[in-house]
Amino acid sequence: MDFWIVQTLNGISFGMLLFLLAAGLSLVFGLMRIVNLAHGSFYLLGAYIGFTVIGRTGSFLLAVVVVPLGIAGLGLLMHRFLLRRFQGAELSQVLLTFGALFIFADVSLWYWGGYSQVLPKPAFLAGSLTIGTIVFPAYRIFVIVTGVVVALLSWLVLERTALGSMVRAGVDDEEMVRGLGINTPRLFTAVFALGAFLAALSGVIGGPFVGAYPGADFDVLLLALVVVIIGGLGSIGGAFVGSLLVGLIDTLGRALVPELAMFTIFAPMAIILALRPRGLFGRI
Amino acid sequence: MTSEKGGTMPTRRQAVTLSVGALTVLVVAISGWMSTGASAQAPAAKTPIKIGVLSPLTGPLAALARDVVDGARLYVDEVHGEMAGRKVELIVEDYEFKAAVALTKTKKLVERDRVHVVVGVILSAAVLAMKDYIHAQEVPFIVSGAAVAESITLEKPSPYVFRTSFSASQVPAPLGKFTYDKLKARTATVIAGDTVGTIELVMGFARAFEEAGGKVVQELYPPIGTTDFGPYIGKIRRDVGVVATLVPGADGIRFIKQYEEFGLKGKIPVVDTAPGITDIAVLPAAGTAAVGMYATNAYVHTIKSPANQKFVQAFRAKTGRDPGGPGEYTYSALAAINQALQATGGNIEVKAKFLDALRKMDLEAPRGRIRFDRYQHVIQDVIITRIDKVGDQIVPVVVETVRGVDQFLGLAPEEYVKRPRLIMLKGTFGK
Amino acid sequence: MSGIGLALGLIVLAIIVRLLPTYYIGLLTEALILGIFAMGLDLLLGHTGLPSLGHSAYFGAAGYTMAILSLRLQQSSWVSASAGLVVSLIIAAIYGLLALRTSGVYFMMITLALAQVLWGIAFGWRSMTGGDDGLPGIARPELRALFPWSLQPPANFFTAVLIIFVIVVAALYVLVRSPFGYTLHGIRESEARMACLGYHVWWHKYVAVLIAGGVAGIAGILFVYYHGFVSPAELSLVLSAEGLLMVILGGSGTLFGPALGAIVVVFLRNLISAYTERWLLILGLIYLLVVLCAPNGIVGAIRARLPGWLDREAEA
């Protein structure tokens, strides 16, 4: 029984981490049809910079607040000066993000060396919770809570604010939104920056879990891709459900049938692709 | 618009495209040829000796990779850049911890840079990918950075391939016995990264542990790059006597920290079947989570011998950190090359003589005396350590030294080679 | 006359190449192989307007099939290589069905995801594929019946690859100028119009996927013979994206463009890394520059400068 509880909690915490990773990609793709191959790079930079910030200042809180804002700024610049002019030329945008991926990867390599780092946890979250016979890391509970909070906030923003309705409308019908006089280029840049923000946030929050290492950008991108395909493009709710599903299937899969480890991530994706290519909750 | 449709091929267009392409290609190639032409295989005497150093400078084992390069550079510094009267040049290449890239970089080192000998490589799979090529090219290759897979030296042995690090049967075996005899564990779970080198190491442990009387009841193989060890830690049987690991590099750091978070530290002892988490390059990042682990090594910087203390001091002075295994193995590899060159009078071009001299290596390395066995792998001492916190440092403390261990577990080589390779044992325990 | 001129040019090329150091012969071989891969991809991208981000799937599938058959099941080169090609066609047949339900960016996403499924299998199914360690020790075939010299020496293998390259180019040339090819161009310009004109759009796209997949499969088999080694990298996103770069760099929708792009990328990648550690950064910058400044690629730039010389052959 303990085994099941622990593994399920594992799955949920991993799923919430995946949600943080994938939410940004889903939004960006859903609204702007940009396949941002540099999405994982935002994670990587967030994790490495977070590592440096925590190392210099000792404050996890500072890292959580400052780093995603910084990377959001980077995303803003990247979209405004590189990607925006190619809106509509999707292939060019993909290739630009691919070039950016290489550049970010090399810059992180240059600055932080090829070292793999695991971010230190804040002291009050470093321990374990013991409930009866179950010992579970406190930090993973924190990740679950954060994931849920971000999901709720996103839902609130999307459903209850003007910005949110613009985004939702843009996902459904971009031409109409433009026709209504809304400055879509600026909206797009804002959403891209938001995507970068979320990715970098997952870098700082996920850093103690997943770590920062050369190649993390690719690994994260692939995970985010799986979630987005399964959950559906353009839907935060879809990303939430998709990431929970993937987190649980992967964790339980590894626990029960370890020979199929990597496969348990891609199998659900393959099934969805075959049966329902728009994903479970795809809006588009 | 479609005026040319269906006619003969327009000559000019095709010719132009082809010429432009061919011209580009030839210009690039010839310019490259010019730049390397000078260093073609000239007769011996005073051309420099080129040593290729292949190391995964980017990737999960980057920290260990630096040791390989620094060990080589330290040796070259100590001999003032000369061996047997010839200058020595190191050419360093990064293979990104990927077997495919190792093959490409080897080709570059051999064909473009014209190196005389290659050292390094941590990933067993990389060596296996390179082996056929380097054998066909007849370039001596001293594996000096872990790369422990048995088949490197025991399967289709090549006269060009040597190893100065350790093998999967050599270093874990004494630990297997130690775990049974001294730690009194009776059952074990093995967990290793899912690649041939690390699998073989825990299999080497498993074999020795069972021969001593213990029983391996569970095997777990998280893929390299696993970030969440929760599922695997959750599977570890709570009644087991010891957990034997080889989870390398960054993965190892995550594993041991998560092991502690899930409350298993102190409840079930962990032993490192080779320097994985306990390699000095990785240990500081693992931190207090690793304290209390036992490990087995071919080299630790805390060995108390005059040769080692001299080596460690020189290494610290040069790099500001303590040397890990790959640093010493590569240092010894260069020393071996030097020893062989002294014997051949500086001649590395006559391969048969150089190889012969290399086989006769007998060195007082920082770790102790090392010689090659007839499969061109080192015979050496094995050191068992315990990770302690000394002051605010995490240090491996030497607990036991086993002298003169070879890769045949004490059997006659012909006997040992007949047994199945360790990789074949994967999945056979715990049934 | 033009054919003879071309043949002579090729023979001269083959001879000159033999004189180069083996390292450069190797790079050229790899460039030609990836050129085949890129030309296959261009059939989809440049000629039909289908942007595939998962083309490595067919490349790697063929390579792995061939490797597994010859290593684990001890099959002869003929059997393994043919099986490899067949498998890449089968995968193309399945993936075509799945991916062609979408278009544009979704097509990109889905092709990417489909290729990742194969990657995941290659990575995870260690016992069959060797996982991340890959499968070493794949020997080059001895095809004495066709080619009386050993394929072991780099120069000989290059010649064999060159011959196959020429055959593929010729085949694509014929295809692109055939009614089928012109229909593909029409589909690229406007599917709706072609449908109205009575063409069966879906079938044309599907056959294009099959052919492109087969061509990629041929390239994959050659690649694995060249290196003697196969690994999940042959199924990776990086390879697919690099293929796209080669096509764009050389000029999409042309015939030789992608091959030129392949030559440039292969040489850049290898030569830059010899001079500086920061080659990844430089490569990334070059990719950005290509997209920003030369959207029609090298061939497009040449056409712009020298009107009438390289007429828009394929873009009727």
Which residues pair with residue A225 across a beta bridge? none
Q: How far is it, in rounded angstroms, from Cα C6 to Cα B22?
A: 12
Q: How far is it, in rounded angstroms, from Cα C224 to Cα C30?
A: 10
Query: By CA distance, what is B65's nearest residue in A?
Result: A114
User: What's the pLDDT tens digit per position in B312-365?
Assistant: 999 999 999 899 889 999 999 999 999 999 999 888 888 899 999 999 999 989
Could you tell me the CATH superfamily of domain B2-15+169-302+382-416?
A: Response regulator (3.40.50.2300)
pLDDT value at A265 more than 80: no
The average pLDDT across C52-73 equals: 93
Domain annotation covers residue C264: no
User: What's the pLDDT tens digit per position in C229-257?
Assistant: 999 989 999 899 899 989 988 888 888 88
Residue C144: predicted pLDDT: 66
CB A137 within 8 A of CB A14: no
Determine the residue among C105, C245, C269 to mutate to test chain A binding: the one whose Cβ has the most chain A Cβ atoms within 10 Å. C105
* Residue A119: domain span: 2-275
Contacts of C3 in chain B (CB under 8 A): 9
- Yes or no, beta carbons of B232 and A118 under 8 Å apart: no
Domain annotation covers residue C159: yes
Domain annotation covers residue A201: yes
Cβ pairs bridging A and B (under 8 Å): 96
Confidence of residue A71 (pLDDT cuts 50, 70, 90): very high
User: What's the pLDDT tens digit per position in B95-124?
Assistant: 888 888 899 899 999 988 999 999 999 999
Specify the pTM: 0.85
Domain annotation covers residue A203: yes
Domain annotation covers residue A282: no
Give percent above pLDDT 70 in chain B.
Answer: 89
- Yes or no, beta carbons of B228 and A262 under 8 Å apart: no
B197: Cβ–Cβ under 8 A, 6 or more apart, which residues?
Answer: B123, B124, B125, B146, B147, B148, B149, B168
Which residues pair with residue C230 across a beta bridge? C135
User: What's the pLDDT tens digit per position in A26-49?
Assistant: 888 888 888 899 999 999 999 999
Domain annotation covers residue C194: yes
Which residues pair with residue B382 across a beta bridge? B402
Chain B, window 66-95: residues with a beta carbon less than 8 angstroms from a chain C beta carbon: 94
pLDDT value at B24 more than 70: no
Query: By CA distance, what is B94's nearest residue in A?
Result: A114
Domain annotation covers residue C230: yes
Q: Enter the tokens of residue A108.
A: 């992180």
Count of structural domains, chain A: 1
The answer, for A136 touching chain C at a CB cutoff of 8 Å, is: no
Domain annotation covers residue C64: yes
Count of structural domains, chain C: 1
Confidence of residue C213 (pLDDT cuts 50, 70, 90): very high
Q: Which CATH number goes with the domain that contains A17?
A: 1.10.3470
Q: How far is it, in rounded angstroms, from Cα A64 to Cα A75?
A: 17
Domain annotation covers residue A24: yes
Query: By CA distance, what is B259's nearest residue in A?
Result: A137
When CB atoms are compared, the residue of C113, C124, C283 closest to A260 is: C124
Query: Considering only CA atoms, which of A15, A66, A20 is closest in space to residue A39?
Result: A20
Across all residues in chain C, what is the average pLDDT?
86
Chain C, window 223-282: residues with a beta carbon less than 8 angstroms from a chain B beta carbon: 227-229, 231, 233, 255-256, 259-260, 263-264, 267, 270-271, 274, 277
pLDDT value at B8 more than 80: no
CB B243 within 8 A of CB B268: yes
The average pLDDT across B231-240 equals: 90
- Yes or no, beta carbons of C106 and A261 under 8 Å apart: no
Domain annotation covers residue A237: yes
Q: How far is it, in rounded angstroms, from Cα C195 to Cα C202?
A: 9
The average pLDDT across C5-29 equals: 83
- A53-77 CB burial, b ≥16 within 10 A, e <16: bbeeeeebeebbebbbebbbebbbe
The answer, for A70 touching chain B at a CB cutoff of 8 Å, is: no
User: What's the pLDDT tens digit per position in A88-102?
Assistant: 788 888 889 999 999
Task: Return the H-helix or E-strand segment holding C112.
Answer: helix C104-124
Determine the residue among B2, B17, B41 to mutate to test chain C binding: the one whose Cβ has the most chain C Cβ atoms within 10 Å. B17
CB B361 within 8 A of CB B144: no
> At the topology level of CATH, where does B22-167+306-380 sit?
Rossmann fold (3.40.50)
Domain annotation covers residue A269: yes
